[in-house]
Structures are given as structure tokens and as C-alpha cells.
Amino acid sequence: MIERLLRKYAPVRLDVDVAHLAEGDRRALRLLAESAAWIDRIYWKQRSEGGLRLRERLGRSQKPMARHLQRLLEINFGPWDTLNDDRPFWGHRKRPLGGDLYPPDLGRDELKLYVTRHPEQQQSILSHTTLVRRQGDRLIAIPYQRAYADELSHVAAGLRAAADAATHAAFRAFLRARAKDLVSGELRESDTLWIGAAESPIDIAIGPYEVYDDALMGLKTSYEATVMVRHPLTERIRRFETVVPELERTLPGVVAPASSKRRIALGVYDVVVAAGMSAMGSKTVAATLPNDEHVRTDIGSRLLLYRNVITAKFQAIVRPMAEQVLSANQRGLVSEDAFVFHTALHELAHAVSACFVQNNGSAADGTINEALRERYATIEECRADLMGLVFLDLLARRGELPAGMEAEAAVTFIVSSMRTLRFGAGDDYSRGAAIILSHLLKRKSVVPGPDGGLVVDVGGVYAGGAELARTIQNVASRGDYEAAGQLIAELGGVPPAIQRALPRVTDIPVDIDFVFDDESL
């Protein structure tokens, strides 16, 4: 079974061209990679400390099966298959909904009741950056910076050393501030400086960012680190920055940003090293950071497209899937450029969407994340996918995209959504893709063709996407927890037409496994 599960991942060597970098930046990259290794250790503790101990025991064995099991543990950061609803592949213990972020026996109802009865603890218990533990009959909150103090001290030392070597002044300032902030737990100063360091030839996104691992409450963030080299394609993609004001006006239910000085910086990067959550399970092709709602609303965001990861997934998965699931006359429309454009606009949708619940046309006190809780990630990823389609349609009509890109993007989007479905019913991206595909199939924007492959109605995909986008945007803007649950329940399953097509792709990898080339640094 272990070898079969490993075959779900296509090993990909993420070679990166660093020859053009100054010697100081190459030295800084090596130091940043060393810092990222400590983030790996923190993330193991957040997801599965028992899995970490098992991995260390297996590392002392020379048996081939032990090596295979060790690699599968490393991919999943624990003994649960992330591409199959976190079912255990070693042992029989189910993964707790909150991993090791909460006591394993703590249920959602008990936690809600506790904070209701102890309102003085609500802020600390429900913080994005605290662990929850039992202490007798009480729950206590342990700040991340205290729980992971040893690892974070090593991370900070590496960031300070990298700052001494790096050539870009704003990036050096960010690294020194981030070193201080990770240890103190107050991240806002360095988040702000990072947005101003977008022109650096090298980069790192490092910290507790995403809430996907917290299936209990959808609140606790997980640590990750991505070390990057800026790619020349940045200049090609950056023209999307100029249409941000119009894109914001296109979003239904969005309140104007609090600050006219807010910056949204798009960049294309080659990933040198990924660690923590960004290296776990299905690998991300892009990110919009930071996730602090106040920083994103008042200061701005960085949109990171991972070129070498996008290329690897397209070549190993998207293109082969298209040959199997599409009707023959549409297979040629699937393109890597279309994959890149929608990915960029998906991330742009994250960046320009409102972060706070809307109340009678103005922002209320609570965030959408807090209102939607464990349903937030599914709704947010679905919303960004749909808004990416809306934006593509707008840009195509304005002549901002290459000729033919509108059709390529619609067809490529359907194949990519089917790719995402294979991450499993428990995955937030997968549930979001299922909602979209269910809607498009119901309105016959995607239908089975005479040769057994799927036929995509390009105009229908954009019209259906805009229709569903308005619905899901309103659910998110209102912070409507019940409506979000109803939407997921009604449309979140895999549609029968897609279920019939998926057996054709069983021999195609579900995702990729990073193979890093240390010598390239």
C-alpha cells in the first residue's frame, strides 16, 4: 500500500537558475533554506508530533520499506493520507480535526461552550496564534512564540545572517524585522515591510499563515516557509496590477478599501525550498500573503506565482488529464499560459476581496474567517476560483489578454478543477472545485460529448461562473455560516458526470513531490 500511495506523487526536481544573482544573494538563499528547515520542525509539532517521532525512528532503518514509509510520512507530515480525506496509512488512529493544535479529544461544541462560559479567555483561546491545551478542568492558550521558542530562535538567527548577506535594502530590513517579530509573536511590522520589499531578487514568505489544517474551528494558523528567486515573467504578469481598481468594482458586495495607499504587488518566482505547510500534501502553485486582515485592507498584499511549480503540475498532471477527460476537439485548447493567467487572477481575487463581514454596506467588526469558521477555507477558495473567471472574462473583453485566451482559460479551468477534485472530499480546494463543477454541469455549461469526453461551453462557463460568484460572494460578505453550510452540502459532492470521467486518469499522478537540488545553491 505504501508504494501505491507514493505513486500518487510525481517526483519533480525544482531546479532554479541562480547564476545571475550576486554572491551575497546566493549566500543569503543558503541561509534562508537553513531557516526553513526549522519551520519544518515546528509544522511537524503542529500537525503530528507522533508522526515526527515515527519518522525519526524510520530514519535509523536501512530497509527499503522503511525508507518508503518515511518518505510518505514526510510528504504528509504525519501518518494520514492528505489526498484521501486524512485516512491513516499507518496505524488506525484518525487524525484529530485540529491536529496537535488542540487537545485531541476536544470537540467543537465543548470549545464553543467553554469560551461562552469563560469570556475572559475567548480572545486567547480563539487566537490564530495560540495552542489550546487542557489544564485540569480548564482550557489554556499557549502563544506560538512560547511553544516554539527554541525553533524560532534558530529561524531568527538564520534570517539575521541572511540579512547581512542580501543585496536589497528593503529586503534586508524585512528580514531583520521578521526575525524579531517571529520571536515576539507580533508580526504586523514585518508583514508591512515585506510588502515594500517586492523588488528584491530573492525572497522568503515565512510565518504562521494558513488555517487549512484547523478543521475544528478554522482559526489556527500553520507555519510555512517558501524561499524564492524572482523570475523575469514578473514583468509580463504585472500589468494585472493596473486593473485592480476596475476588478474591485466588478466584485459584488465588496466595500472600497480602507486605504487608497493599499498596494497589491504581483510577482513570479521559482521556488528554491518549501517547508512546513507549503511542502505538505498537494503543493500550492501560488499564494496571497500576508493573511492579517488589517494589513491586507490598509497596507496591501503580495501575490506570489510559483513558476516552476506551475510548470511541473501542468506537464505532469493537467496536460495528461486533458487528453483523457476532454472531447478530442477541445484538447488543444488546454495551455500552460491559461493555467498561469487564472492562477494569477485567483490570487488577485483573494487580495481585492473584503476581509470583514459587511453590514448594511459597511464593514462590521468581525472577519469573514471568524464568521464562517471551519467552512471559511472552502468558501474562500471557491470564491477566488470564480472571481478569477469573472476577471478573465473582463480582461478578455478589454483586450488585455492574448487572442484566444478566453477559450483556452475556460477549458483549462475545467480540467484544473477536475485535478483539484482528486485531492479528496475533505480538502477545501477540492470541495470548492466540486461546488463550481456541480453548478456548471447543472446549467449544462459542461456536458458529455459523443466521444465520451467532456465538452465545455466557453460562454456558459463564464456566465455560470459569474452567476455562482454573485451567490457565494454574498454568502461570504454576510459571513453567513448557515448558508455556507447549505451551499457546501448541496453542491460540494462530486457530480456523476465527473465521477464517470475520473477513472480514466487513475494512472496520472494526483500531485507532485518536491526534489530539491541543494547543489544549485
Report the pLDDT averaged over residues 33-43: 97
Ranking 158-167, 231-240, 435-444, 501-510 by mean pLDDT, the lowest is 231-240
Percent over 90 (pLDDT), the chain: 77
Q: Does the residue 421 lie in any domain? A: yes
pTM of the model: 0.90
CB atoms within 10 A of CB 146: 11
Range of the domain at 457: 326-505
Q: Does the residue 470 lie in any domain? A: yes
Count of the separate structural domains present in the chain: 1
Residue 243: the pLDDT is 77
Q: Does the residue 193 lie in any domain? A: no
Phi, psi (deg, nearest 5) at residue 493: -90, 160
pLDDT digits (tens, 9 = 90+) for 348-359: 888 887 788 876
Report the pLDDT averaged over residues 68-97: 94
Q: Does the residue 229 lie in any domain? A: no
Q: Does the residue 412 lie in any domain? A: yes
Reply yes or no on whether the pLDDT at 272 is more than 70: yes
C-alpha dist (Å) from residue 477 to 296, 299, 472, 473: 16, 21, 8, 6
CA distance 134 to 20: 52
C-alpha dist (Å) from residue 92 to 80, 86, 202: 10, 11, 43
Reply yes or no on whether the pLDDT at 288 is more than 50: yes
Q: Does the residue 495 lie in any domain? A: yes
Residue 360: the pLDDT is 60
Reply yes or no on whether the pLDDT at 364 is more than 80: no
pLDDT class of 145 with cuts at 50, 70, 90: very high
CB atoms within 10 A of CB 286: 19
Reply yes or no on whether the pLDDT at 255 is more than 90: no
pLDDT class of 256 with cuts at 50, 70, 90: very low
- Average pLDDT along the chain: 92
Q: Does the residue 330 lie in any domain? A: yes
pLDDT class of 15 with cuts at 50, 70, 90: confident
CA distance 280 to 274: 9
DSSP H or E stretch at residue 264: strand 263-276
Residue 520: the pLDDT is 62
Reply yes or no on whether the pLDDT at 251 is more than 70: no
Which residues 6+ apart lie within 8 Å of 223 measured at CB?
A: 39, 42, 43, 46, 144, 148, 207, 208, 209, 276, 277
Q: Does the residue 335 lie in any domain? A: yes
Which residues 6+ apart lie within 8 Å of 496 measured at CB?
A: none
Give the E-state strand segments of 414-473 in sequence order. Answer: 446-448, 454-456
Reply yes or no on whether the pLDDT at 411 is more than 80: yes
